[in-house]
Structure 1
Amino acid sequence: MSDVAITTLLMFALFALLGSGVWIGLTLAGVAWIGMQLFSSRPAGDAMAITVWGSASSWTLTALPLFIWMGEILFRTKLSESMFRGLAPWVSRLPGRLLHTNVIGCTIFAAVSGSSAATCATIGKMTLPELGKRGYPDDITIGSLAGAGTLGLLIPPSIIMIVYGVSADVSIARLFVAGIIPGVVLAGLFSGYLMIWTALNRDRVPPPDRHMSFGEKVYESRHLIPVVVLIAAVLGSIYAGVATATEAAAVGVVGSLLLSAVQRSLTWQTFRDSLMGATRLYCMIALILSGAAFLTLSMGYIGLPRHLAEFVTSLGLSPFLLIVALAVFYVILGCFLDGISMVVLTMGVILPTVTAAKLDLIWFGIFIVIVVEMAQITPPVGFNLFVLQGMTGKEITWIGKVTFPFFLLMCLMVLLLWWFPQLATWLPSKM
């Protein structure tokens, strides 16, 4: 059977299972089992058991539930309310007002977690209830959170950058530095879109709070101190070399517990609810990760990513058309695979072509991160969409629709990166 026929069959199975209401993680595992059972010689049951166990027992993955728990603690105590009280005076006069807290919060937290899912889940736990309580519409609130959550991959530290750096044999430190300016620019594009959206939908945004003088704004900023201290503790432990990302996540949990205790908002009930909430959300994410890992293994045995990559490299395109083709290729691939798997499965075939086209490998690494970000909000396997579906109960198609404008902004970011490569290369050249 041809690759096109196999792909069509697996896509039909994927949509059929999702449409029938089967859990997402089980759907991904089911499609992987169908593909491996029908189109490879590897026993599907044995492969599934080994892959699911390996995915679920990853030490690196430990940071994810810890960051989610930190978000739950912040959400259930006064810390998230304090963050809003501190930010509100500074953004309330901007078009979009408190919607910018999604972008600002994700930008800050992206420098802590290195994970898109953790960034989306943690900030969402803080902002979604607060924005909903203040009357902001669900579509732009959830859409902006899904888009801004992808900054967890671009702003260092980034798990994807580490994977790419190892695969391409380039400096991970230079990759981290290269992601700073593009990350800030992309966050600016998101905030700019929120301003334009607000200008076109003035009646849907709640009115601003009372006008404050500069002194009053500074005084209200005292509410940011607990959150700033927490972020400084997590970031400082990473960049000082005291803790790994996983250990820093534990620092964040302990710090959030201590701060909420100092504020006298930590009770046995809030502690229990935060722990159970984090457990439920992480179990949902872990099941999806396990299914995605098995689907990745199945696709690898069938050979679809390798065949697609070989097809792209055989076209003999100019550098610009090569970048366009690779962007389309990775977005399509992101409909079936998670970001790390996309990089691991394709770099061996893609890198020789990129090197032959004389593209800077640091620049190309940032390009890869951005297109992987795009895949995070691309149905049917857009991981941020799944996270938000689990948090909000909304349909995945609805979440994909409200997130689409932010997908287009990432496409614009790819073009900006091509037109102005110094966005990614200037800072590393100074090292």
Structure 2
Amino acid sequence: MSITFSAGVLVALLALFLGAGVWIFSGLMLVGASAMYFVLDFNLVRIGAIATRVISSSAISWELAAIPIFMWMGDIIFRTDISQRLFRGLAPLVARIPGGLLHTNVFGCTVFAAISGSSTATTATVGKITIPELQKRGYDLRLSAGSLAGAGSFGLLIPPSIAMIVYGVLAEVSIAQLFAAGVIPGLMMAGLYVGYIAIVSLMDPSRAPRFDGEVTARAMGRGLLELLPIVLLMFVVLGSIYSGLATPSEAAAVGVFGAILITVVTGQFSLRLMRDSLLATIRVSAMILMLIAASSFLSAAIAYMQLPTQITEGISALQLSPYGVLLILAALYIVLGMFLDGTSMTVMTVPIAVPLIVQAGFDPLWFGIYLVIMIEMSALTPPVGLNLFVLQGLTQRTMGETVRATLPFFLLLCLGTVILAVFPEIVLWLPSRL
């Protein structure tokens, strides 16, 4: 069976089912079953047995328990006034930096990402406070919106990250090490954004009014006090993982307890908040776990068709450099990001992409961070970039204006990816120290 025929069948089936509007979970299952039945000539009994074995084994993975628990922690925080506290806490700390309060988008998203794990939730939570405040103070809306959309994607890169958990399970890479690997790249991306905002603000001061008042030590102290609850929660969750005291799932449970404690201490606890956060978590977690189960079944079909081996051998025959392989994958992910969400991209491509990058000489741990950045790009890529929709709702501007505002930050993500490809030690240094 040729690679062209196998790949063509899968692409045609995906186009048929997903193009018909079938749910992605159902579409992946149908593609896998159809490929086994029509291409591999498996009977229905054998297909059913494979589906039962693969889906049950993928659904009982202990590592997957971290997904709903981390999502519950993030949703509890999402329903509190933490985003307001973030803005009040960060404002006096960044007021004197060129770009002023625009940096609350970057730092706010960086901090909130450490307890959210979701790009969309990070963008929406921080943006609903910062966008109105920045507009009221005369900041350029285009720069405000672009920085928010770009920094909102840190919800995937700064641990804990749902995308990292999904990749870790599928690629059999340590989730704790993935969390550690994302820290320095996340801070580096934040630094690129801060630097860009500062340079643009210095070149055109009208886009970011300079703060002429005095920032007192007392105001900065109050700001730090506002940030204390969320910083403590970050320290407890990530510290327990990096110190080896807890697995990601156990740390997530501690994080939920900490999030509930914050609501109690700040007087925001209610049974309605707990009920709403639980229901939201169940809905989204069920969707993600169903995608993982369907992906495992499709991966089994792909393995039986020997497609990963054929693709690896085919690309090896082209004698591409390792960076050539990365460039092909980057183009693939940017195109997929125009039509699919990040989780769907991950579950559909990991079975084929991981053997390729291992063959090219890259560490699967490093590739996990590369993949997360590709997913971040997809959140800024029309027509299905989720952060673009969130941003459009916050600013009430057209999609064209929204895309133009985010373009510089999309290009900064591209620059960051190049830096990480040339200097992979940026990703691998911290995990090697744990």
TM-score normalised by the chain length of structure 1: 0.73
Change (3 A) 1:271 1:57: same
- Picking from 299, 304, 321, the partner of 1:301 is 304
Corresponding residue of 1:148: 154
Displacement after TM superposition at 1:415 (Å): 3.0
238, 260, 267: which one aligns with 1:235: 238
Q: Is 1:277 aligned with 2:280? A: yes
- Cα deviation, 1:367-389, whole Å, max 9, x if unaligned, reads 52343124424669x9xx78769
* Cα drift, residue 250 of structure 1: 0.8
C-alpha separation in 2, matches of 1:393 and 1:57: 39
Q: Distance in 1 between matches of 2:386 and 2:260?
A: 24
Q: How does 1:24-35 map to 2 (within 5 A)?
A: 24-35=24-35
Q: Could you tell me how far apart the structure 2 residues matched to 1:429 and 1:59 are? A: 24
The one-letter code of the counterpart of 1:33 is A
Task: Check the 8 A contact 1:309/1:350 in 2, yes or no.
Answer: no
Distance in 2 of aligned mates of 1:133 and 1:421: 39
- Aligned equivalents of 1:425, 1:28: Cα separation in 2: 33
How far apart, CA to CA, are the structure 2 residues paired with 1:166 and 1:325? 21
2:76 alignment partner, one of 66, 73, 76: 73
Corresponding residue of 1:358? none
1:262 maps to which of 255, 262, 265: 265
- Which residue matches 2:138? none
Contact 2:18 2:24 in 1 (8 A): yes
Distance 1:13 1:401 in 2: 34
1:123 aligns to what? Answer: 122
Q: Distance in 2 between matches of 1:101 and 1:291?
A: 39
Contact 2:106 2:148 (8 Å CA) reproduced = no
Alpha-carbon distance, 1:89 to partner: 2.9
- Number of the residue aligned with 1:312: 315
Partners in 2 of 1:86 and 1:391 — Cα distance? Answer: 24
- Compute the displacement of 1:231 (Å): 1.4
Amino acid at match of 2:187: V
- The Cα of 1:60 is off from its aligned counterpart by 0.9
Q: Partner of 2:295 in structure 1?
A: 292
CA contact (8 A) 2:29 2:297 kept: yes
Name the aligned partner's letter for residue 143 of structure 1: A
Match of 1:213 in 2: 215
Q: Residue 228 of structure 1 aligns to a residue in which SS?
A: helix
Structure 1 unmatched ranges of 5 or more: 355-360
CA shift for structure 1 position 5:
4.4
Amino acid across the alignment from 2:255: G
**How far apart in 1 are the matches of 2:431 and 2:281?**
37
In structure 2, give the amino acid aligned to 1:213.
Answer: V
Q: Which amino acid aligns with 1:149?
A: G
Quote the offset at 1:99 in angstroms. Answer: 5.8
Q: Indicate the residue corresponding to 1:328 in structure 2.
A: 328
Give the C-alpha shift of residue 282 in structure 1: 2.0
Q: How far apart in 2 are the matches of 1:166 and 1:280?
A: 26
**Cα contact 1:367–1:414 (8 A) shared by 2:** no
Return closer, same or farther for 1:201/1:148 CA change in 2, 3 Å cut-off.
farther
Deviation at 1:248, TM superposition (A): 0.8
1:326 aligned counterpart, secondary structure = helix
- 379 and 164 in structure 1: CA distance in 2 versus 1, 3 angstrom threshold: closer
1:188-227 equivalent positions in 2, closer than 5 A: 188-193=191-196, 211-215=213-217, 216-227=219-230
CA contact (8 A) 1:238 1:248 kept: yes
- Letter of the structure 2 residue corresponding to residue 14 of structure 1: L
Q: Is 1:376 aligned to 2:382, yes or no?
A: no
How many residues are treated as equivalent by the alignment?
407
Percent identity of equivalent pairs: 32
Instruction: Tell me the equivalent position of 2:255.
Output: 252
Report the alpha carbon displacement of residue 125 of structure 1 after superposing the two structures with TM. Answer: 5.7
Following the alignment from structure 1 to structure 2, what is the Cα–Cα distance between the partners of residues 199 and 36?
60
Report if the CA contact (8 A) 1:153-1:373 is conserved: no
TM-score, normalised by the number of residues in structure 2: 0.72
Deviation digits for residues 98-134 of structure 1 (CA, Å, limit 9, x no counterpart):
6645543554466678xxxx34255346324334554
Give 1:234 shift: 1.3
Shifted more, 137-146 versus 158-167: the winner is 158-167
Q: CA deviation at 1:67?
A: 1.4
Q: Matched residues in 1 for 2:166 and 2:289: separation?
A: 18
Task: Write the letter of the residue equivalent to 2:155.
Answer: G
- Corresponding residue SS for 1:10: helix
Once the two structures are overlaid, the 10-residue window that deviates more, 344-353 or 411-420, is: 344-353
- Structure 1 residue 64 corresponds to structure 2 residue 64: no
Residue 87 (structure 1) shift: 1.8
Query: For 1:41-52, what aligned pairs fall within 5 Å after superposition?
Result: 41-42=41-42, 43=44, 44-52=47-55
Deviation at 1:252, TM superposition (A): 0.8
Q: Check the 8 A contact 2:149/2:391 in 1, yes or no.
A: no
Do the aligned partners of residues 172 and 129 (structure 1) sit closer, same or farther apart at CA in structure 2, a change above 3 Å counting?
closer
Post-superposition offset of 1:401: 9.3
Q: Secondary structure at the match of 1:242?
A: coil
